[in-house]
């Protein structure tokens, strides 16, 4: 039986967001905490950090930004590596673009790991939870986009989107990840009732 999307009801829309490459990360925390700060006092929303702890376990950690006041992401065990960050929570809610430049750095060493530029929503890999068994549509708006269900997406293991492709899926895992390459993709997600 064929169904058309115009007869379906939208539960939520994750607005156009930025997906970057793993190469966007110039340093790694490697057993350190992470510190995040903006150069603009108006950056006060949620920020979700994505990566692995020093035991190699996949993790996300959502913190609340305080503008020009640095905020720490402290984990036990400590951060091992970062793969992404975006302005919002892991359920795709409260996503909003950066007002200033948001800098993510090692707390002890002070080295910059990555930055989120003004008007952008994230950097590197993006992850969304809570969609197991839901009908989801991912619409690639620009760049090269790769999807992986329930694991770290890479350009080699991920499903590659064609230019402007719209993909309907029903995630089998607890989460799915999206990653890009130097083309810096943008995409939108629609969750259906």
Per-residue pLDDT reduced to its tens digit, 99-132: 999 999 999 989 999 999 999 999 999 999 888 8
Give the Cβ contact number of residue 82 at 10 Å.
25
Pairing mode of beta strands 136-142, 185-192? antiparallel
The answer to whether residues 68 and 40 touch, using CB atoms and an 8 Å cutoff, is yes
- pLDDT value of position 101: 98
The gap from C-alpha 38 to its chain's centroid, in whole angstroms, comes to 18
- Residue 160 CB partners (closer than 8 Å, separation 6+): 144, 145, 146
Write down the pTM of the prediction. 0.91
What average pLDDT does this structure show over 21-39?
95
Q: What's the confidence (pLDDT) of residue 5? A: 58
- The number of helices, as runs of H, and strands, as runs of E, in the chain is 0, 16
């Amino acid at each position: 039986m064929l169904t058309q999307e115009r007869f379906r009801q939208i539960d939520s829309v994750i607005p156009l967001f930025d997906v970057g490459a793993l190469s966007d990360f110039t340093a790694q925390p490697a057993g350190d905490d992470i510190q995040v700060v903006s150069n603009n006092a108006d950056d006060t929303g949620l920020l979700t950090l994505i990566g692995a702890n020093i035991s190699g376990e996949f993790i996300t950690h959502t913190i609340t930004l305080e503008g020009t006041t640095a905020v720490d992401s402290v984990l036990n065990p400590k951060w091992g590596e970062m793969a992404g960050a975006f302005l919002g929570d892991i359920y795709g809610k409260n996503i909003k673009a950066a007002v200033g430049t948001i800098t993510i750095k090692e707390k002890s060493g002070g080295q910059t790991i990555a930055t989120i530029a003004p008007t952008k929503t994230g950097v590197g890999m993006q992850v969304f939870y809570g969609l197991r068994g839901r009908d989801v549509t991912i619409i690639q708006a620009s760049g090269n986009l790769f999807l992986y269900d329930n694991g770290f997406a890479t350009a080699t293991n991920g499903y590659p989107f064609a230019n402007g492709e719209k993909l309907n899926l029903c995630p089998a895992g607890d989460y799915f990840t999206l990653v890009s390459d130097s083309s810096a993709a943008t995409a939108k997600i629609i969750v259906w009732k």
